[in-house]
Amino acid sequence: MLIRAESVTKSFGPVKVLTKADLQINRGDSIGLIGVNGAGKSTFLKILLGEERCDTGEIIRNTERIGYLPQFADSSEDTVRDVLGRSYGHLEHIRRRMRELDSVMSSGEDIDWNSVTSEYAVLESELSGSKAEDEKTQLAALKKVGLPQEFMDRSMCTLSGGERTKVMLSRIVIQAEGCDVLFLDEPTSHLDIDTVEWLEDFLLNAHVATVIISHDRYFLDKVATRVCEISNGKTREYKGNYSSFLEKKMLDLERMEKEYRKYTIQKKRQEEIAAEMHRDQWFSAVHKTRLRMADRLEEKEAPETMKNITVRIQSAPKSGKNVITTKDLTVDLGGRRIIDEFSADVHKGEKIGIFGANGQGKSTLVKALLEKIPSGGELWIAPGAKIGYFDQNHGDLIPSFTAEEQLMHVIGKERRGEARQLLARMLLTDEKVEKPISTLSGGERARVAMAVLLLKETNLLILDEPTNYLDIPSRHAIEDALEEYDGTIISVTHDRYFLDTVCNMVWEVKDGDVTTYAGTYSSMKGRPNVREIVIDADEYRVTAPFTNWVTNRKLAKGDRVLVAPSEMKSYEWAIEQGKMRRTGGRQRKKISVETP
């Protein structure tokens, strides 16, 4: 056991964020920490780290070798070199201890000078010899996340959101070798798909316990072996990845609903009998026995009731069969060719997902289709196309307006009730409706921008990262609405789950070229109906050579084999004949499973 939290509570003023949060982190764990925005995930993470104190409860830490990726990347004027040399966790613990010893030595108190100076010298030696301070290690870490050496002297404030996140990831690469546990808060924000898939493989091979806050369901499916959900201040754990969590939670809620219904029926029946007995035998106290029976019934917890976003996107009258046609479309910016001779026909009802690495020109392509920037070649948009545009930076919102004022700015001040009703459907009520948009969180601003889009009748939606900043329930709600939408959709996204559930066509933008594919992201990548997940696997040592004919793999004496539960049948005969023996170790292993 590395870290354990028991019955943790935390309040900020009158607001109770955590009421009973429990979690145990063991070596090799890969835990997905999920919950709606504002559920207390980041607060719980900081309590586990020791950055925040809990009000009540107990935190037990058996390690100080901790790495941490914060939710918001450094955006100061510090250089990348400075940030990489400021590794969190083990090194910070050394520096903190050295500062404590400095304070002790300068206090003039009666201390054991030999012991203090000896400890200080050991810490100083460890710090100076640390790999995290070695520029070669830093450059290698940058290279792993796809950033060149020239970035070392650039200020963090000059980098894009994706580049800043990559710098923070490279810091994690440096830390991982000396850590027992990594805490990652929204690690996939602003990352392109290639970098996210690299991160998945890195975490699998790092052999370090991880606790990850994420709204990326595809990512959670591929890295988490346990899911801990925070809801109404309490934690509930599920073994398996995100898809497994969904199935088990639905069964949990169904079971809780049945138990609670049975409990309320029994309690009500006992109370009714007691009332009837008291009415018929008012002079007797026999009815009190029935009341005691009602009180002794094991109280069942009512299933949680979650408010969900209710979205239905209005469709304008349908356009013609062809919505957009491009022929040899080119876009040049800053003397560089961004899009090179792209030809396509977008037909009515198609739902197209655009993906690619950061900086490849996805948003540029969308702006060219919207005629917001000049382009070469031919571009035709159907005269009947009524376009709705969602900007990932929410540039159409007026920061000084409240959410209510923003909607009334579109539909008119006389329709205030309608504006309030729509915002309530997006779970924006009370003070959130009356606060300036500039003070809202990223997820709340995204919901205001989506509400503005819902006011318009459209038959062509062009969306730039529509699921950014949204929590998982909100993403599901938006996806359901887009699936039901009978117009045409063109969406830029890094969300692979979105690409698989909403889109029936994908475009990949890379090195100026746009590759089109009729199908989902997974089918384009050659894995239709197959999902890669990570699960805990038992380690075995080969004691005699043999061949596993199911996998056609030859194994030599001394080889170490990770066997997942789903693979056990193909190894049973070898285990029974003593050709393999369990070592007692467990590690994470990536496997492929078929999906319906």
CA distance 330 to 513: 10
What does the block give as tokens for 55? 């009000």
What does the block give as tokens for 393? 């930076």
The percentage of the chain sitting over the pLDDT mark of 70, rounded to a whole number, equals 90
CA distance 352 to 504: 6
pLDDT at 535: 73
Indicate the helix (H) or strand (E) that contains 230.
strand 226-231
CA distance 555 to 544: 8
What does the block give as tokens for 94? 């050394």
Q: How confident is the model at residue 315 (pLDDT cuts 50, 70, 90)?
A: low
pLDDT at 134: 67
**Common-topology check for domains 1-63+181-240 and 322-516:** yes
CA distance 437 to 445: 7
What's the chain's length in residues? 596
CA distance 410 to 455: 8
CATH topology of domain 322-516: Rossmann fold (3.40.50)
Compute the average pLDDT of residues 390-411: 87
CA distance 286 to 63: 60
- Sign of the C-alpha dihedral, residues 239, 243, 249, 251? negative
Nearest to 259 by CA among 202, 231, 223, 300: 300
Kindly report, residue by residue over 499-544, the tens digit of the pLDDT: 998 999 999 999 899 999 998 898 888 765 555 667 778 889 999 8
pLDDT at 246: 81
CA distance 276 to 147: 78
Inter-residue contact 587 to 28 (CB < 8 Å): yes
Q: How many CB atoms lie within 10 A of CB 224?
A: 30
Q: How confident is the model at residue 8 (pLDDT cuts 50, 70, 90)?
A: very high
Compute the average pLDDT of residues 416-440: 84
Of 189-203, 247-261, 354-368, least confident by mean pLDDT is: 247-261
* Angle 345-348-353 from CA coordinates, rounded to 5°: 70
Compute the average pLDDT of residues 378-389: 91
Q: How confident is the model at residue 594 (pLDDT cuts 50, 70, 90)?
A: low
What does the block give as tokens for 215? 């709204």
Nearest to 319 by CA among 516, 487, 489: 487
Whole-structure pTM over 0.85, yes or no? no
SS3 493: coil
The four Cα atoms 229, 231, 233, 237 give a dihedral, to 10 degrees, of -30
What does the block give as tokens for 463? 């969306």
Q: How confident is the model at residue 411 (pLDDT cuts 50, 70, 90)?
A: confident
pLDDT at 505: 93
Compute the average pLDDT of residues 324-349: 91
- Amino acid in position 182: L
Kindly report, residue by residue over 113-147, the tens digit of the pLDDT: 788 888 888 888 777 665 445 677 788 888 888 88
Compute the average pLDDT of residues 384-394: 87
SS3 101: helix
Res 275 pLDDT > 70:
yes
pLDDT at 454: 80
Burial 227-256 (b: 16+ CB within 10 A, else e): bbbbeebebbebebbbbbbbeeeeeeeeee
How far are the Cα atoms of 60, 288, 432, 448 from residue 23, in angstroms, in the given order? 11, 42, 32, 35
Q: How confident is the model at residue 377 (pLDDT cuts 50, 70, 90)?
A: very high
Q: Across the chain, what does the average pLDDT equal?
A: 84
The percentage of the chain sitting over the pLDDT mark of 90, rounded to a whole number, equals 24
SS3 79: strand
Q: How confident is the model at residue 422 (pLDDT cuts 50, 70, 90)?
A: confident
Kindly report, residue by residue over 57-91, the tens digit of the pLDDT: 999 999 888 888 888 777 788 888 878 876 555 56
Q: How confident is the model at residue 567 (pLDDT cuts 50, 70, 90)?
A: confident
Question: Domain locations in the chain?
Answer: 1-63+181-240, 253-296, 322-516, 530-594
Indicate the helix (H) or strand (E) that contains 405.
helix 403-411
pLDDT at 132: 46
Nearest to 213 by CA among 193, 196, 228: 228
More confident residue, 219 or 440: 219
Kindly report, residue by residue over 161-215, the tens digit of the pLDDT: 778 888 888 888 887 777 889 999 988 887 888 888 889 888 888 888 999 999 9
CATH of domain 1-63+181-240: 3.40.50.300
Compute the average pLDDT of residues 301-325: 69
Q: How confident is the model at residue 11 (pLDDT cuts 50, 70, 90)?
A: very high
